[in-house]
Structures are given as structure tokens and as C-alpha cells.
Amino acid sequence: MNNLNIIKIFKKFLDVILPPRCFSCGVNIYDDGNLCEKCFIDLNFISQPFCIKCGKPFENIENQNIGMKCANCLNGDNDYFRYSRSAVAYDESSKKLIIPFKFNDKTENAKILAKILQNSVLDILKDYNQPTLIVPVPLHYNRMLKRKYNQSALIVKELVKLVNISADYKSLKRVKKTKPQVQFKGKERLKNVKYAFEVKFPDNIRGQRVILLDDVMTTGATMKDCVRALNKAGAKSVDLISVARVI
């Protein structure tokens, strides 16, 4: 009996005594690394119709209007990035996956969050005709020491297993220690993270089509300053990806 067969038998044995559980609610499920049917259905996936540029869903608009831009994008407010996509709405259902992952060391959730995000990344990639680079939003050194991991980087590590794309974890750095964004609203969020990010290795970014990934997008202030740094380093274009966004 070869090693692969031994591993399969051992896994089946483990599934009997320790059955796989839903990453969200914890009930027993059949497939390891997934959600139960109820928790999957409860996720509010963002689907068409949404703004073709920023991905914000439209309300009370028929599907035949797919391809429109929202007012903010028409006004040029979002010209700093090419496209933005988020997989689900940030609500009570998605919080059950994201908050324990982000703050309570439930790092195994990165696997299912990457799966949830996969189609949104593929929607971005379909327009590319050259290699791309995916970059996670970095944490400041002090916060990294306290949390012990960067949640966005963990999602990227799982995502590159699902999508044919290279990752860069070192070039973009958070050089300014800022207060948590949840303490601010509106323009104060922009002010809090202004010049908080720098590209330490611009040769890795110059000429690249970059996809910037964060776990949650609220106002987009953090990602906006990241884009500023990436553009300064010579990125050819920058797209935004997040698992969830506040709607």
C-alpha cells in the first residue's frame, strides 16, 4: 500500500471520529473546508446588476442595464483604480466568517474566504492579456506582532492555489502606525491613512498590472492610499478585490 492510499484511509478515519464542520456555524458537514447549505445560502453574494467599474450593486435596476456606471464613477471619484469587485455584502452572515478569522485566530477560514472570492478575481482577470500580480493590503509591524498574521495575506496564499496568478507579499509596506479605521468616518478615514503606505521594492511593481486585496472594504480609504503608493512605484494599473464590502 503506497503512502497516498494510507493518507486517504487515515483521513476517512479522522472524518468518522472528528467529522468536518461548517466554518461558519460549526455543524457537521460532508466536505472538509466548506460551509453548510444554510450558511452558504445566507451569504449575500454581490451579483449583476452592479457598477461596471466599482462593483457597487444597483438597486431597482433591471438586468438589461448591466454595464452601467454609478454616479460616483461617472463623476470621476474612483479614477484612481481600474476596476473593483467584492464577493459578498458585509453583513451578519459574512461577519461570522470574517470576524473570527480576523481577530480570533481562526486562520483556517482563509480557505473558504478564498473560494468565496475566486469568481470575483476571475471577473477581473478576464480583461487581462498579460501576467498580473496580486498584493495583499499590509499590516503595520506593531499590529502584525500583536495579531501574529496578516489576514489579507492568508487569503492571497489560498487564492493563488485556485487562480493562476503570482503574489507579492513584501513590496507594499505600511510605514505609518495609524488608529483603527473603525474609529473614523468619511473624510477622517482618508486623513487617518494618508501616506501610510509605501512600496519598498518598486522594481517588483513597475509595469505590473496589480490586483490589491483586502478582506473588507468600507469606504475604500485604506485601499486608496495603497493605490497611491503602487501608482507612484509605476504600476501599469491597479484593480481592487475584497471578500466583503459595506453596502
- 206 or 63, which is more confident: 206
- Write down the pLDDT at residue 67: 78
Contacts of 148 (CB under 8 A, 6+ apart): 105
Mean pLDDT, residues 101-105: 92
> Which range (65-79, 118-132, 151-165, 226-240) has the least confidence?
118-132
Mean pLDDT, residues 124-132: 78
Where residue 118 falls (left for φ over 0; alpha for ψ -120 to 50; beta otherwise) is: alpha
**For residue range 190-245, what is the model confidence (pLDDT) as tens digits?**
788 889 999 999 999 999 999 999 999 998 999 999 999 999 999 999 999 999 99
Q: Assign 9 to helix, strand or coil.
A: helix
Mean pLDDT, residues 52-60: 89
User: H or E stretch including 134?
Assistant: strand 132-136
Q: Assign 175 to helix, strand or coil.
A: coil
Of 100, 165, 95, nearest in space to 133 by CA: 165
Rg of the chain over CA atoms, in angstroms? Answer: 19
β-bridge mates for residue 241, sequence order: 85, 213
Where residue 12 falls (left for φ over 0; alpha for ψ -120 to 50; beta otherwise) is: alpha
Of 90, 83, 44, 39, nearest in space to 219 by CA: 90
Work out the pLDDT band at 66, boundaries 50, 70, 90: low
- Write down the pLDDT at residue 64: 53
- Write down the pLDDT at residue 18: 55
Of 42, 45, 46, nearest in space to 25 by CA: 42
Q: What are the start-end ranges of the H helices in the chain?
A: 3-17, 37-42, 71-74, 92-103, 109-125, 141-147, 151-162, 187-193, 221-232
- Write down the pLDDT at residue 14: 42
Contacts of 133 (CB under 8 A, 6+ apart): 165, 166, 167, 168, 204, 205, 208, 209, 210, 211
pTM: 0.86
At 47, which amino acid appears? S
